Amino acid sequence: MSCREAEITASKHPCYSAESQHKFARMHLPVAPACNIQCNYCNRLYDCVNESRPGVTSEILSPEQAIAKIGRVQAGLDNLAVIGIAGPGDALANWPQTKATLVATRQNYPDLILCLSTNGLMLPQYAEELVELGVRHVTVTLNSVDLAISEKIYRHIDWQGQRLTGQAGVRILLENQLAGIRILTARGVLVKINIVMIPGINDAHIPEVVKVARDLGACMTNIMPLIPAGGSAFGHLPQTSHKDVAAMRERCQEFLPQMKHCQQCRADAIGLLTQDRSAKFRNEPACPGGGCAGKSSEASTSVKPFRIAVTSKYLRLVDQHFGHAERFLIYETDGKTNRLIEQRQTSKYCSGNEFCEAEEEMKLDLVKKLTDCDAVVTMRLGAQAKARLLAQGIEAVESCESIDEALTRTVEQLSIKQAG
């Protein structure tokens, strides 16, 4: 059976089949908060129940919490067919959480369809593993196949420990997107391409994107309107009209089947596409008193959040020596709400000695990569490393607590120092 036949006539996936959208429910698991690119149309709000668009969620779940929640949802929805990971960041930028969730879902709920969405930056690295894990539906956002246009859409990408801007960044992004899609389609994975139609930026270019998607073996494209997000670089642009989107879908229909029933779902959506029931199954209200009204966590508090880097092997405890870390978890926090905004790759600060005090093991370039942070929370670090951080205005805090507990304590310390 061809890719087109499989998706349009046989799938139970409501995003891939117009007929299935009225029969089968999907559940998005918000286990992937960090993102490795910055789109100019994106401003991810983690804590708002009042918005419905990609990148929005009212909770972040651990893999264990996600699996437990599937059981509760399945008990309440007898038509649950699909489990997806669609953010609120990028699924592959949070690979440990994403993989653990996919593995546990397949083990505990083998009849459910697995899918995920990604910007494609890390797709070549994980495509084969996705196939082995049983993922048969992948959505890739491909907004442009022209570097000059892509440069207008993406502010930066985070790649191998570097933040790349301009064409240097979008070239890597595009090459990885195309390579990853080729791998997936060659292995029989059903790939849907999402394209955000941005007036005056990529709208005239979309037919070319669809042709490339067709040549790569994608099943369909989903041309979506730009939803201007406050606080984003494109927040001032007008929302793409439904008339223009419909016309573009009709124009591109000759190249690939078009998804025409997309609801631009939240990262924690549950239920039929046209009937989101995520509020019914939410663990906790994200906006106490109902007062968030579409505001981000930064806007809903009078305290400016701190940015704190954390060393952690398994994303739960502060359990890694500063000198041994090859990745820092970057949080923004006001002491009450902790948002993981990035997983920043770095080279090791030292060669592996337990106390890491030798001068030759100190790498100033790593410290410079943390200069946007107010503090570093780590299990242990040497006196010289601590001095180097302090010289850059970065507080060094040693802890072996959970990340949440350590962040709360660190914010208290920073607030006291700031007040003094």
What are the structural domains, with CATH classification, of the chain? 3-288 (3.20.20.70), 306-419 (3.30.420.130)
Q: Give the Cα separation of 323 and 268 in Å (integer).
A: 36
User: For residue 336, what is the DSSP state?
Assistant: S
The pLDDT, as a whole number, for residue 298 is 35
Q: Specify the range with the lowest mean pLDDT, choosing from 168-172, 235-239, 302-306, 369-373.
A: 302-306
- Considering only CA atoms, which of 151, 144, 167, 160 is closest in space to residue 233? 151
List CB contacts of 84: < 8 A, sequence separation 6 or more.
26, 27, 28, 29, 114, 115, 116, 117, 137
CA dist 160 to 26, 76, 310, Å?
A: 33, 42, 18
On the CB side of 283, CA atoms within 13 Å amount to: 15
Q: Is pLDDT of 360 > 90?
A: no
What region, left, alpha or beta, does residue 101 occupy, with left being phi > 0 and alpha being psi -120 to 50 degrees?
alpha
The pLDDT, as a whole number, for residue 357 is 44
* Residue showing tokens 């070239």: 171
Helix residue ranges per DSSP H, 217-312: 242-252, 278-281
Q: Give the Cα separation of 90 and 86 in Å (integer).
A: 7
Cβ–Cβ under 8 Å, residues 62 and 253: no
Proportion of the chain above pLDDT 70, given as a percent: 80
The pLDDT, as a whole number, for residue 315 is 76
The pLDDT, as a whole number, for residue 97 is 93
> Which pTM does this prediction carry?
0.64
- Considering only CA atoms, which of 375, 382, 381, 383 is closest in space to residue 403? 375
Give mean pLDDT, residues 43-47: 53
Cβ–Cβ under 8 Å, residues 396 and 384: no
Tokens of 306: 């701190």
Cβ–Cβ under 8 Å, residues 220 and 210: no
**Most distant pair of Cα atoms in the chain: their distance:** 70
Work out the angle between the directed axes of helices 95-108 and 63-76 (0-180°, nearest 10): 40
- Considering only CA atoms, which of 150, 198, 193 is closest in space to residue 171? 150
Name the pLDDT band for 300 (thresholds 50, 70, 90).
Answer: very low
Work out the angle between the directed axes of helices 206-216 and 242-252 (0-180°, nearest 10): 40
On the CB side of 400, CA atoms within 13 Å amount to: 3
Q: Is pLDDT of 412 > 80?
A: yes
Q: Give the Cα separation of 381 and 306 in Å (integer).
A: 21
Q: Give the Cα separation of 324 and 361 in Å (integer).
A: 11
The pLDDT, as a whole number, for residue 273 is 66
Tokens of 155: 């502010």
Q: What are the DSSP calls for 342-395, one per residue? A: EEEE---SSSS-SS---GGG--HHHHHTTTT-SEEEESB--HHHHHHHHHTT-E
Most confident range (mean pLDDT) of 146-150, 243-247, 346-350 is 146-150
**Residue 225 pairs with which residues in a beta bridge?**
197
Cβ–Cβ under 8 Å, residues 382 and 355: yes
- With residue 327 as reference, give the H or E element that holds it: strand 327-333
Work out the angle between the directed axes of helices 206-216 and 166-186 (0-180°, nearest 10): 40
The pLDDT, as a whole number, for residue 79 is 85
Beta strand pairing call for 162-164 and 306-310: unpaired
List CB contacts of 316: < 8 A, sequence separation 6 or more.
62, 402, 403
pLDDT digits 0-9 by tens, 137-188: 999 999 999 999 999 999 999 998 888 999 999 999 999 999 999 999 999 9
